[in-house]
Structure 1
Amino acid sequence: MTNPQCERQPGVAAQMRAPASIGSAGVPVPPQSQFSAPRLPVFSPGAVLRMLWQHARRSLTPQELWWLAEGVPEFSSMYSGELAAVLESLACMVAADGEESRSGCFQNSKDLPDLLFVQANQMNVLSGLLYVAGDATTMLREGAAAH
């Protein structure tokens, strides 16, 4: 018996409609060349975290910096372990499927990319969070050294 969640059209995640962006909402957006700011990086969850961090970092209290410096590594360790367990389970499931009978969802080139893109974005979020935690730790050390 197959999992009902596996009975889906390939690439459904890629076909889902995103909320309206500023451009699709009828708001006039000037071309990138008209912005005076430095060129922005390729959009990714980690890039968003890094950009927001650069704007917020100087306004945080030592307590908030400590919260980030301590909490993010602990969360990232737990989350990456959970992610590894999920990927290992999926790999075992796919490897255990025989050539004649396939029971897993991720058996062909149309199913696997959705999973891999999600996993890549999750790793990108962890990378951005760890960048923030490292910078917060540095700021705390510099603040402690100044006193």
Structure 2
Amino acid sequence: MFDAYIISDDGFRNVSKDGKVIGFEYKARLNYYRGIPLSMVDKYELKVNNEPIDRSKIKFSVGEDWFTLDEMETVTKVKWEFGETASVFVEQDGGLPQGAHDLSVEQVLRIAYFPFPLRATITKTLELVG
């Protein structure tokens, strides 16, 4: 539905903790016109520069709380609303080098009244600066 919008142009950055770069983050949107609980995100796969990212390295946040993709399967009280940007953090020592990077996302949602999963895929080039 809204595949072209699921990777935001804003918020792509390396993340530091205690002076050390521990990973990178980008912003993501829902590919559906209504909000859903995080437990209805059936699948979320990420590739960076055509290299798959292990799902255990990905954490997801809508608001203040962070969840692994496995934890999201049981999160029914946190809703991801249409138009709301979620933060996606990837644990990776040293983060990513500055410059252009291709992010590829496959997002599959389970919608209660759809007889099939709602699948979106997109690849977008983002520029990591600073």
Q: TM-score range by the shorter chain?
A: under 0.3
Which structure carries more relative contact order (alpha carbon 8 Å, separation 6+)? 1
Greater strand percent: which structure?
2
**Which has the larger Rg?**
1
The structure richer in helix per residue is 1
TM-score (norm: length of structure 2):
0.22
- TM-score under structure 1 length normalisation: 0.21
